[in-house]
Amino acid sequence: MDRPALTDLAEEERVFRDAVRAFAEEKLRPLAGPMDKESKLRPEVIPALFELGLMGIEIPESLGGAGASFFMSILAIEELARVDASVAVVCDVQNTLVINAIKKFGSPAQHERMLGKLASGAVGAYALSEAGSGSDAFALACRATPQGDDFVLRGRKLWITNGGEAGLFLVFATVDPAAGYKGITCFVVERGADGFTIPRKEDKLGIRASSTCELVFEDVVVPRANVLGDVGRGYKVAIETLNEGRIGIAAQMVGLAQGAFEGALAYVQQREQFGQKIGEFQAVRHRLARAAIDIEAARLLSYNAARLHDAGQPFLRQAAMAKWFASDVAERVASECLELYGGIGFTTECPAEKYLRDAKIGKIYEGTSFVQLDTIAKMLFSEGA
């Protein structure tokens, strides 16, 4: 189904979107089901993402990236999620969190060293969450102790997306627990560092092919040159990047809902009951009409937040709104579409059940729906609007 004119894409953006869609249809769709069952990305997937330029969208061309906009990242995430949300989140974390954090807070030397790696083949991961710090993101137990010109990391991280594939990790730890959030610092840790292990991967309900891992740091030495931003300013790195990441999750949920919708729309025009296609029943048509309205509204909220970001305008409230609404739409639309398949929709033979399982995480990661509502409410009351 073509996107309506209201999405207002420039020609360059349309060409880019169509190229990602073609890649997703030709290369990812045949693999989505098998990778979900195997709980693992096929080895050819990530190199293909790099080859298409989807793992360094905002990295300058001089450093090997595509030199494109944040909005282009949102288009890519949406189109990948339309086919497989597991692949979309790999691209999402790479672009909206890891690359954005290094671009915004890294030194020129760090840009040269780290962005070049991320553009040329290194996957990035964003290690903030711990067992005791989920929505309370800054209640960190992970410690970083100064030692000469280095820091020594000790602690654990949980639920880290891309943990199984990443070569470069943004790790948040506190250098001074008594200082609260002002002690938090962001460190860049490379895979293979002494004392750094990844003991297990989570077995999840949805986005199963995407790796979600525990990280363990046992006296891991990190040079001061790998501190991203200033010591004690990691909270700023985290807050500002998560705001951008929430737009990425919104785009993921929009793409997922679109994929579920398109499958159901095709199915109801084929399946016959009571002597006619089930898509000819008004009740079925109205359910799909409402789904189409919700998806378009979620898309416009997401695109608006991304456009504001690229224009250098405030976008925090719009990002929270987009994530809250898109994740709600994705779960609701995926559920409604599954029901239109009838009994087969409840089986793994049908892709509808995967869309529903994949949708659930949208209300949880990168800020739960409760956190988004709290953020929106605080801003409404503080702005008096």
Cα 216 to Cα 199, 249, 303, 319, 384: the distances in Å are 7, 26, 37, 32, 45
Q: Are residues 87 and 209 in contact, defined by beta-carbon separation less than 8 angstroms?
A: yes
Which residue reads 């969208």 in tokens?
57
**Element containing residue 212 per DSSP (H, E):** strand 212-223
- How many C-beta atoms surround the C-beta of residue 345 within 10 A? 21
Q: Show Cβ contacts of residue 115 under 8 Å, excluding neighbours closer than 6 positions.
A: 56, 59, 60, 63, 64, 65, 99, 102, 103, 106
Among 142, 126, 181, 153, CA closest to 367: 126
Among 359, 354, 160, 332, CA closest to 249: 359
Cα 341 to Cα 25, 128, 265, 266, 346: the distances in Å are 22, 39, 10, 10, 8
| The two structure tokens encoding residue 166 | 């990443």
Which residue reads 């460190």 in tokens?
187
> How far is Cα of residue 132 from the mean position of the Cα atoms in its chain?
22
Rounded-to-integer distance, Cα 12 and Cα 14, Å:
5
Give DSSP secondary structure letters for 81-116: HTT-HHHHHHHHIIIIIIIHHHHHH--HHHIIIIIH
* Dihedral, CA of residue 6, residue 12, residue 15 and residue 16, to nearest 10: -100
Strands 227-228, 168-174: pairing is: unpaired
| The two structure tokens encoding residue 324 | 């809250």
Known catalytic membership, residue 366: yes
Question: Which of the following is catalytic: 58, 78, 331, 366?
Answer: 366
| Relative orientation angle of helices 352-359 and 29-38, to the nearest 10 degrees | 60
| The two structure tokens encoding residue 62 | 């001089």
Active site residues: 366
